[in-house]
Structure 1
Amino acid sequence: MSTPTAHDRYRSSRDQLLAGAVAEFEWPTFDGPFNWAHDWFDVIARGNGRTALHIVEENGDQARYSFDELARRSDQVANWLAAHGVGRGDSVLVMLGNQVELWESMLAVMKLGAVIMPTTTALGAADLADRIDRGAAKAVIANTADAPKFDADLVRVAVGGAEGWLDYADAAAAPDTPLPHPDTAADDRLLFYFTSGTTSRPKLVEHTQQSYPVGHLSTLYWLGIRPGDVHLNISSPGWAKHAWSCFFAPWIAEATIFIHNYTRFDPAAVLRVIREAGVTTFCAPPTVWRMLIKADLSGGPGALREVVAAGEPLNPEVIAQVDRAWGLTLRDGFGQTETTAQVGNTPGALVKPGSMGRPLPGVPVVLVDVATGEPADEGELCLDLSRRPPSLMIGYHGDPERTAEAMADGYYHTGDVARRDEDGYLFYVGRTDDVFKASDYKVSPFELESVLIGHPAVTEAAVVPAPDPLRLAVPKAYVALTPGFAPDRTTALSILRHAREHLAPFLRVRRLEFFDLPKTVSGKIRRVELRAREVNDPATAAALEWRDDQFPELRG
């Protein structure tokens, strides 16, 4: 009997999850070299005429690329980059939008054994200089419009051409001869990702040839993608979630990645495209789902079978509205740039309102009491390093102190707090630095925000502590309004009354301000800025807010 290849081992683990054999699931291990582009993608892609990537533009233009085309095109790009000095271990900053060159480049860099450093096009010159320095970039691949942001001494490749840059189009003349395997080991570096920096300077996360390529087997299982599916994920390139659901998970499943490009999000247009393209699995951040449920869902879900939310906690009201309109269960999950999916509501399983699900196969989740450091039913969500999963990062590159802090006391610390019920379901409480006390009661912002968005005027909300001379702190809600609602007394009264009717007295929202919520470039709310505003500029905050004691109607 022949020894199983790296591809065989990978496929066996994948097929266990596709068959629902969760109890039998084991992460694949590799005795020799492993490189996902060579050992998985090329094996399933060569000679395969099925659509691997389908891109629809805002004006209706469409392009489809088969698995075989992408295998050959990425070979050309890899051979061309190699001719210009890019090789194994070199960091390549890839700053492209949702365009075919992004997928070609990622596969090509991987095939060379080089390191991919995905980067959002929203960054300016100063941020890019920092990333180039910290990631030790040797090359950059960017669009013509972004070329002026770079002045470093790099191998510079422009899609569309730019003066003094190599022209990406020239790669089409390179041979499509398959490259030799770079002999990368499973624990060799593959990816550098910068975190979104919701509370501090972005950290540089280092992933290996297995941590994302193998680790995203958990993401595949959570998303529920199956061979032949058409998967749409709304996420911007340059962020980890894009790699989760617009690269690894769909192609692990041998499904089609579907992309809809637009300049401004239009719920009606997105829903129309989903139906026309026959999208079967759909993942989007809660922000998008909150906008979708304010739109008209009466046209039905089309071919959708699985609907998923990721990026921030999902509010129960959103789940309820999608179920009422489409009869589909919108499922939540949890993961980080530092990991793949850790916790999730999986296809076919009972979903409890407000729960992000249960630990995913192969992920050793433990809740650790913040005060005692012992396992508990409520505490920081951690991963047990004595059973370290392959889906966990190596650490924060160039930052041993932060790495040691994240891996302290035998656990990987996520910084997120959750509680577990009697059935093993986990409920998100908040970031360790977001939870606060008011009148000696612990307040989870997420619980209050979930109630607030149940009001039709509220699209998004962020709750932070506001200093109070009597209670030390009181919950204050910063609210982004749904179009059509005025930021006036009537609206404020209606929202505060709604909160009172659905929250315990000690959790009441005492103050409210209509506000354009600050966000990271990846779209996450920066509560740290709102908390600082309350502390550092209380006069301005007080002048613009509505307080519950201003409304006699709320008394009694």
Structure 2
Amino acid sequence: MSPADSTEQSTTDVTREFREARDFLVAHREDYETAYRDFRWPHFDRFNWARDWFDALAVEQPEVAALTIVEEDGEVNSRTYAEMAERSRQVAGWLTQAGLQPGDRVLVVLGNTVPLWETMLGCIRAGAVMIPATTLLTDADLADRIERGGVRAVVTSSADTGRYAGIADHCIRVAVGEPVPNWLVYDDSAQYEGPVPEVDTAANDSLLLYFTSGTTSQPKLVEHTQVSYPVGHLSTMYWIGLQPGDVHLNVSSPGWAKHSWSNVFAPWNAGATVFLYNYTRFDAEKMLRVLQTYGVTTFCAPPTVWRMLIQADLSAVKVQIRECISAGEPLNPEVIEQVRNAWGITIRDGYGQTETTAQIGNTPGQEVKLGSMGRPLPGYTIALIDPSTDEISDDGEISIELAPAPVPLMRGYRDARELTDDVMRGGHYHTGDVASRDEDGYITYVGRSDDVFKASDYRISPFELESVLIEHPAVAEAAVVPSPDPVRLAVPKAYVVLAAGHEPSRELAGEILQFCRDHLAPYKRIRRIEFADLPKTISGKIRRVELREDEAAKVDSGQTTQHAYDEADFKEG
């Protein structure tokens, strides 16, 4: 047997093993007990997802749409699996010809355009290491990513190339769009007819470097391998409930891990169509029309989008959606109820991190307990560890058992050995999130360990209080933080963003405080409220750490703001 034949045989074996794992989960999509008990991660010495999996799909279903993007003006851009495979080969060869080598790091800063997916597949083929980044980064952020990421190549839109002057001169620079002096023109890759690199990457070779969104600290650099995301997102595919032939719409911005989760690996593992509605400003009515017009079957959106959607008339649209998913932050039960009443579909919540794939989720066909994230997903063993005793209990920090470590777990934080050792201590990967587990094994999110606080010696979960707040019709979003108090140490204070049609007032503050008083135990009572915008990361997560610091400073200085109220301002009813 020639070396080429040996490689071909090896590729066939790898493809078969991956398919068996994929097909097992698809076959048991509504049989959680069997899927969780019997699923085993496939293990490979060598693996290249573009060659070993995507190419196989391109041969089997060449005419199926791999990617469809609908623009606001109605323009539709679509690529079949065969077209996407061919374009990614051209991109891989073209970049290699330009000097890209296996292991080189490529900063990819693009919006939801076809070249984003072509570039990602091309980089995988070429053995390059991708650093996806959002177009919302500041110039300082870009410089930090290029320096700390050790970037060798940059792929970005022609309109943004000026931002790289002086910080990417050493890089291979690719402009998507109009020609730019001293930059390669991405469209030229379509004329490439040279050799195609098919790099035989080791399973443990680096594939992705993700900068975390940094809600409490400087962004960390999360390192994933050729298998941890491509293979690991079989768990995400199972949680979403994806099947071959599905049309999957996920609302997520490029550059964040969730975009790779649900706009690349999970749907393409399933052989589904990645569907995008490319809007500049979210409009609930337009999104609902798109869901109806294009036959979307599976839909995933963050809680912020779901909260905006329920302010529209959901019952007025006839959707073909089979699965509704929420991720990013815990979803409030009130939103789940409204969608269920309108569409007869239960939104299923789930949990994961940039450092992993989906770890915990409410899976298809299973009972959904409102407020719960669900149960551990196939391939994960989850322990809740009491932070004060390090004992496993029904309440504690969400942690993943490392004996053995599951395939989807990151390799570690790049260039931060001490930080990696800390989160991997004691035979577990520690997520930094706190939860509780009930007698049926369902896990309910409590909050970031940094966000949970004590008031009068009681532990307070901000999320639990925020879930009650958002049930009030005037509340669109809320964040609860501790407000220093001389008697109770701290009391819960709510920062509230009002829904459309409502204005800040003393009367409304009193009404919301009374509503919370009626729906919360006395020790959880929200005692202060302020109408204000919520600080967020560029990925949309609330920066409670900033609110905590601001609140402590205001209390310390005696500062008051126009739309801030204390329960002492109101007479007890």
Same fold by TM-score, threshold 0.5 exceeded? yes
Contact 2:155 2:176 in 1 (8 A): yes
Task: Compute the displacement of 1:390 (Å).
Answer: 0.5
Does the alignment pair 1:171 with 2:189?
yes
Contact 2:289 2:317 (C-alpha < 8 Å) held by counterparts: no
Greater CA drift, 538-547 or 514-523: 538-547
1:13-92 equivalences under 5 Å are 13-20=21-28, 21-22=34-35, 23-30=37-44, 32-46=45-59, 48-92=62-106
Q: Which amino acid aligns with 2:183?
A: W
CA contact (8 A) 1:16 1:24 kept: no
Q: Give secondary structure in 2 for the equivalent of 1:367.
A: strand
Identify which of 258, 263, 272 aligns with 2:280. Answer: 263
Map 1:242-281 → 2, pairs under 5 A: 242-281=259-298
Deviates more, 1:4-13 or 1:440-449: 4-13
Q: Is the contact made by 1:74 and 1:104 (CA closer than 8 Å) also made in structure 2?
A: yes
Is the contact between residue 96 and residue 197 of structure 2 (CA under 8 Å) also seen in structure 1? no
Q: 1:207 aligns with which of 224, 228, 247?
A: 224
Match of 1:120 among 130, 134, 149: 134
Counterpart position of 1:103:
117
> What percent identity do the matched residue pairs reach?
59
TM-score scaled to structure 1, two decimals?
A: 0.97
Q: Is the 8 A contact 1:75 1:176 kept in 2?
A: no
How far, CA to CA, are the matches of 1:24 and 1:377 in structure 2? 24
Partners in 1 of 2:268 and 2:414 — Cα distance?
28
Q: In the alignment, which residue of structure 1 is the partner of 2:31?
A: none
CA shift, 1:458, in A, is 0.7
**CA RMSD across the alignment:** 1.2
Tell me by how many angstroms 1:385 deviates: 1.0
- Pairing 1:355-370 to 2, within 5 Å after superposition: 355-370=372-387
Alignment deviations for residues 40-89 of structure 1 (CA, whole Å, 9 cap, x no partner): 01111146111111100011111111010110111111111000000210
Separation in structure 2 between the aligned mates of residue 301 and residue 52 of structure 1, nearest angstrom: 24
- Equivalent position of 2:509 in the other structure: 492
Distance of 2:39 and 2:403 partners within structure 1? 18
Counterpart check, 1:230 vs 2:238: no
Q: Does 1:546 align with 2:554?
A: no
Q: Distance in 1 between matches of 2:217 and 2:428?
A: 22
Q: Are 2:329 and 2:541, in contact at CA under 8 Å, matched by a contact in 1?
A: yes
Structure 2 runs not aligned, ≥5 long: 1-8, 29-33
* Residue identity in the other structure for 1:389: P
Structure 1 position 404, deviation (Å): 1.0
Q: Is the 8 A contact 2:93 2:197 kept in 1?
A: no
Q: Show the counterpart of 2:436.
A: 419
Out of 512, 528, 538, the residue aligned to residue 529 of structure 2 is 512
Cα displacement (A) at 1:217: 0.3
* 1:34 maps to amino acid: F
- Give CA deviations for 1:294-325 in whole Å, capped at 9, x if unaligned: 11112245100000000001111111111111
User: Is 147-156 or 333-342 further displaced after alignment?
Assistant: 147-156
Distance in structure 2 (CA, Å) of the matches to 1:475 and 1:387: 41
Q: For 1:375 and 1:142, locate their aligned partners in 2 and report how far apart those are by CA, in whole Å.
A: 46
Q: Which amino acid counterpart does residue 339 of structure 1 have in structure 2? A: T
**C-alpha distance in 2 between matches for 1:381 and 1:59:** 44
Q: Secondary structure at the match of 1:64?
A: strand
Measured in 1, the distance between the counterparts of 2:194 and 2:172 equals 21
By how many angstroms is 1:537 displaced?
2.9
* CA displacement 1:438-494 (0-9 Å, x = unmatched): 111110000000000001111110000001111110000000111110111122122
The answer (yes or no) to whether the contact 1:72–1:176 under 8 Å persists in 2 is no
2:475 maps to which of 440, 450, 458: 458
**Is residue 135 of structure 1 aligned with residue 149 of structure 2?**
yes
**Conservation of the 8 A alpha-carbon contact between 1:300 and 1:325:** no
Partners of 1:127 and 1:425 lie apart in 2 by 39
Shift of the 176–424 alpha-carbon distance from structure 1 to 2, 3 Å rule, reads farther
Q: Per the alignment, in what secondary structure is the counterpart of residue 351 of structure 1?
A: coil
Structure 1 stretches of 4+ with a deviation exceeding 6 A read: none
Query: For residues 87 and 325 of structure 1, what CA distance do their matches in structure 2 show?
Result: 52
Paired residue type of 2:283:
D
Count of matched residue positions in the alignment of Structure 1 and Structure 2? 551
Q: What amino acid does structure 2 have at the position aligned with 1:76? A: Q
For 1:304, which of 317, 321, 336 is the aligned residue? 321
Deviation at 1:180, TM superposition (A): 4.4
> What SS does the corresponding residue of 2:373 show, helix, strand or coil?
strand
Query: Which residue of structure 1 aligns with residue 359 of structure 2?
Result: 342
- Distance, in Å, in 1 between the alignment partners of 2:552 and 2:74 is 48
Q: How does 1:184-203 map to 2 (within 5 A)?
A: 184-203=201-220
Q: Counterpart amino acid of 1:129?
A: A
Q: For 1:195 and 1:500, locate their aligned partners in 2 and report how far apart those are by CA, in whole Å.
A: 37
SS at match of 1:110: helix
Q: Distance in 2 between matches of 1:451 and 1:529?
A: 22
Shift of 1:24: 2.1
- 1:387 Cα deviation (Å)? 2.3
In structure 1, stretches of 5+ residues that fail to align are none
Amino acid at match of 1:17: L
User: Shift of the alpha carbon at 1:176?
Assistant: 7.2
Corresponding residue SS for 2:466: helix
Determine the C-alpha separation between the residues in 1 that align with 2:38 and 2:563: 57
CA distance in 2, matches of 1:536, 1:397: 35
Per the TM alignment, residue 216 of structure 1 is displaced from its structure 2 partner at its CA by 0.2
Q: Offset of 1:541 from its aligned partner?
A: 4.9
* Partner deviation per Cα, 1:246-284 (whole Å, 9 max, x = no partner): 000010010000000111100010011000000000000
Offset of 1:15 from its aligned partner?
0.5
> How far apart in 2 are the matches of 1:175 and 1:549?
75
